[in-house]
Chains A and B, each alone.
Chain A
Amino acid sequence: MGQFLKGKAHVFGDDINTDYIIAGKYTKTLDYGSLASHLFEDLDPGFSKKVSPGDFIVAGENFGCGSSREQAPIAIKYAGIGAVLARSFARIFFRNAINLGVPAFVCDTRGVEAGDELEIDLSSQRVTNLRSKAVVPIKPLAPVMVGIINEGGLVPYLKKHGDFKLPD
């Protein structure tokens, strides 16, 4: 990851569950590209066609609640989404996203409108809305998660370390 991520916002509300991210009927596959084509289908049937690589998902509270299905962040990853920003995430989804190396950021997303261009500065941990010029801080990740995301996800992390290393 470079220092900046830039993308167009697709805006969602609160309590977006993993069934909405990817419906259960599509999850029975290891063809991850096929998951991406059904992303958010039950909420917005044409969604996967509207997404360009690098776009952001911007949501309210409790994004990714419900099922533990990892097909949800996998669908987001394979749709080419550059980052997910939410005011808060459901616990399992957030872990899954980090484990897969999908950038997920907790920040104040109020005021972001569909189509806004956002810029994430990873070094200063801030998000700028290029339309409204609003700047919001990103809530810091737990150090163990920083370690995992720095390796690109849990599989590369464990391949390298062989075990979990908690920072002191």
Chain B
Amino acid sequence: MGRTVIEKIISKHCGRDVTAGDFVVAEVDLAMSHDSTGPIAVEAFRKYGRGRVWDPSKVLFVLDHATPSPNERVSCLHSLLREFVSEQAIRLYEVGDGVCHQLVVEKGHVRPGDFAVGTDSHTCTYGALNALSFGIGSTDMSGVLLTGKLWLKVPEVLKIIYSGRLAPGVFAKDLMLYTIGKIGAAGADYLALEFAGEVIRNMEMSDRLTMCNMSIECGAKAGFMEADEVTLSWLEERAQGPFEPVFDDPDAAFSDLYEWDVSGLDPQVARPHSVDNVVSVGEVLGTKIQQVFIGTCTNGRLDDLRVAARILEGRKVSKDVRLLVCPASRGIMLESMKEGILPTLVEAGATVIPPGCGPCPGTHQGIPSDGERVLSTANRNFKGRMGNNRAEIFLASPATCAASALEGRIVDPREFFEGKGA
């Protein structure tokens, strides 16, 4: 019987051939943690009474969830992490450097065939680079910091092959929302999700990252893709060291294999208060919104800001809407300044937030008021997610968000793309 990408990666990291269902102890190539879940991991690590982490060169900390610090409590947690990384000689990305997941991929910390873990559920993002990566808790991280290892059950793979071509104005975010709506919030529990087919092959790396980023929203342990020329050229200037792409064997066994032609797909919107509450944009047209947020580890990349700028150029955001834009990293912010994207957005009325998670986890920088509706490019719309349980969050692509910001209500962004080709 042939093996899946996941079985191959795990086999390499535990020194024996494994198949789905096996329990193994695997060595990790990268352990990432941030200011929200990192302090608990550090506290747990200290309890072992061992001075040193197993390998500081394989550990990363990022300050991104509440940055710049909104209050003294968070400041003290930031200091705690700064002290830990300096004592341990661990790499730290500071306030303003960006969202952890963007930094990991942008700075080449993950390569095809790697096994990476992070104390954040969206660690599954790195699967777009043909790696196995997923979120773990803080105590599990303390064990990784101590031993460099994690126990896990080798997951089965649910493979989705997308055929056809996305229409102009329809994006990876729409495809992923559609996928989550179809299989449900628990539809891939304990499985790894493989995204394949010509639609994926035609995607840029930013779109692929968006897809894998949201695989946790249907419960998947990991989301991943095979590597191709797009992957290799993305890695060319970034990868820190050699690597070897991993492919499914032709006779690999999958828990299920879906084949969807998505040529006719409409832009999608997830309605409050769950990510799988997905409809075509037509069903929520005209819904009034008071805040629009473009950013996060899902959709705060250069391509996303570019699309928004293309729609907003020479226009003004509705006076009834606050448009918040948060580039996912310092590099993206700089590039979007050079390309003129940020000036366009600011002229249109956007408020730019320093790179990081911004208002996504509800700590600061754009908490909606009671009864307000937010349209966001983030990955979660749970009640209270953005800091107020009396607000509503709708999720959509950067294009839908930008177009809707102009009108103050949800609109179909395809009118901005007609006749322009994908």
Complex-state Cα separation, A153 to B362, whole angstroms = 30
Contacts of B123 in A (CB 8 A): 68
- 8 Å CB contacts to A: which residues of B274-332? 274
Contacts of B157 in A (CB 8 A): none
Contacts of A143 in B (CB 8 A): 23
Tell me, rounded to whole Å, the shortest Cβ–Cβ distance linking B349 to chain A: 27
Complex-state Cα separation, A24 to B274, whole angstroms = 16
B243 at the interface (CB under 8 A from A): no
Contacts of A43 in B (CB 8 A): 383
Of B36, B143, B186, the contact of A27 (CB 8 Å cutoff): B36
Given that A23-B362, A29-B73 are known contacts, is A15 also in contact with B186, CB under 8 Å in the complex? Answer: yes
- 8 Å CB contacts to B: which residues of A128-166? 142-144, 153-155, 158-159, 162-164, 166
Complex-state Cα separation, A162 to B24, whole angstroms = 17
The residue in chain A whose Cβ has the minimal distance to the Cβ of B150 is: A164
Contact B77 A95 (CB under 8 A): no
Given that A30-B77, A61-B186, A154-B143 are known contacts, is A25 also in contact with B363, CB under 8 Å in the complex? Answer: yes
Contact B136 A92 (CB under 8 A): yes
Of A62, A71, A88, A92, the contact of B40 (CB 8 Å cutoff): A71
Tell me, rounded to whole Å, the shortest Cβ–Cβ distance linking A43 to chain B: 8
Query: Could you mark each residue 360-390 of chain B with 1 if its beta carbon is under 8 Å from any beta carbon of chain A, else 0?
Result: 0111000000000000000010111101010
Contact A158 B151 (CB under 8 A): no
B185 at the interface (CB under 8 A from A): yes
Contact B142 A155 (CB under 8 A): yes
Contact B185 A24 (CB under 8 A): no
Complex-state Cα separation, A37 to B44, whole angstroms = 22
Complex-state Cα separation, A144 to B147, whole angstroms = 16
A69 at the interface (CB under 8 A from B): yes
Query: Could you mark each residue 6-32 of chain A with 1 if its beta carbon is under 8 Å from any beta carbon of chain B, else 0?
Result: 000000001101011001110111100
Given that A17-B382, A154-B142 are known contacts, is A30 also in contact with B43, CB under 8 Å in the complex? Answer: yes
Contacts of A163 in B (CB 8 A): 147, 149
A67 at the interface (CB under 8 A from B): yes
Of B25, B151, B383, the contact of A42 (CB 8 Å cutoff): B383
Contact B43 A68 (CB under 8 A): no
Given that A25-B363, A65-B219, A144-B151 are known contacts, is A153 also in contact with B139, CB under 8 Å in the complex? Answer: yes
Contact B48 A158 (CB under 8 A): yes
Of B48, B49, B135, B361, the contact of A24 (CB 8 Å cutoff): B361
Contact B139 A166 (CB under 8 A): no
B343 at the interface (CB under 8 A from A): no
Contact A20 B40 (CB under 8 A): no
Contacts of B382 in A (CB 8 A): 17, 19-20, 66
B37 at the interface (CB under 8 A from A): yes
Contact A62 B189 (CB under 8 A): yes
The residue in chain B whose Cβ has the minimal distance to the Cβ of A67 is: B121
- 8 Å CB contacts to A: which residues of B216-230? 216, 219, 221
B102 at the interface (CB under 8 A from A): no
Complex-state Cα separation, A154 to B143, whole angstroms = 8
Contacts of A19 in B (CB 8 A): 380, 382-385
A110 at the interface (CB under 8 A from B): no
Contacts of B48 in A (CB 8 A): 155, 158-159
Contacts of B384 in A (CB 8 A): 19-20, 23-24, 41-42
- 8 Å CB contacts to B: which residues of A51-81? 61-62, 65-71, 73-74
Of B219, B363, B389, the contact of A62 (CB 8 Å cutoff): B219
Tell me, rounded to whole Å, the shortest Cβ–Cβ distance linking A161 to chain B: 10
A100 at the interface (CB under 8 A from B): yes
B47 at the interface (CB under 8 A from A): yes
Contact B37 A24 (CB under 8 A): no
The residue in chain A whose Cβ has the minimal distance to the Cβ of B383 is: A42
Query: Could you mark each residue 317-357 of chain B with 1 if its beta carbon is under 8 Å from any beta carbon of chain A, else 0?
Result: 00000000000000000000000000000000000000000
Complex-state Cα separation, A58 to B382, whole angstroms = 20
Of A25, A28, A68, A88, the contact of B189 (CB 8 Å cutoff): A88
B207 at the interface (CB under 8 A from A): no
Contact A62 B385 (CB under 8 A): no
B138 at the interface (CB under 8 A from A): yes
Contact B36 A96 (CB under 8 A): no
Of A24, A66, A154, the contact of B363 (CB 8 Å cutoff): A24
Contacts of B97 in A (CB 8 A): none
Given that A92-B135, A164-B151 are known contacts, is A24 also in contact with B387, CB under 8 Å in the complex? Answer: yes
Q: List 20 A-B contacts (CB under 8 A).
A: A17-B380, A19-B384, A20-B384, A23-B362, A25-B361, A25-B362, A28-B65, A66-B121, A67-B121, A68-B37, A68-B135, A70-B37, A74-B40, A95-B137, A153-B139, A154-B139, A155-B48, A158-B147, A159-B47, A164-B151
**Residues of chain B whose beta carbon lies under 8 Å from any beta carbon of chain A:** 23-25, 35-37, 39-40, 43-44, 47-49, 65-66, 73-74, 77, 119-121, 123, 135-140, 142-143, 146-147, 149, 151, 153, 185-186, 189-190, 216, 219, 221, 274, 361-363, 380, 382-385, 387, 389
Besides A42-B383, A164-B151, 11 other A-B contacts (C-beta < 8 A):
A19-B384, A20-B382, A28-B363, A62-B186, A66-B382, A68-B120, A70-B37, A71-B40, A74-B40, A96-B137, A158-B146
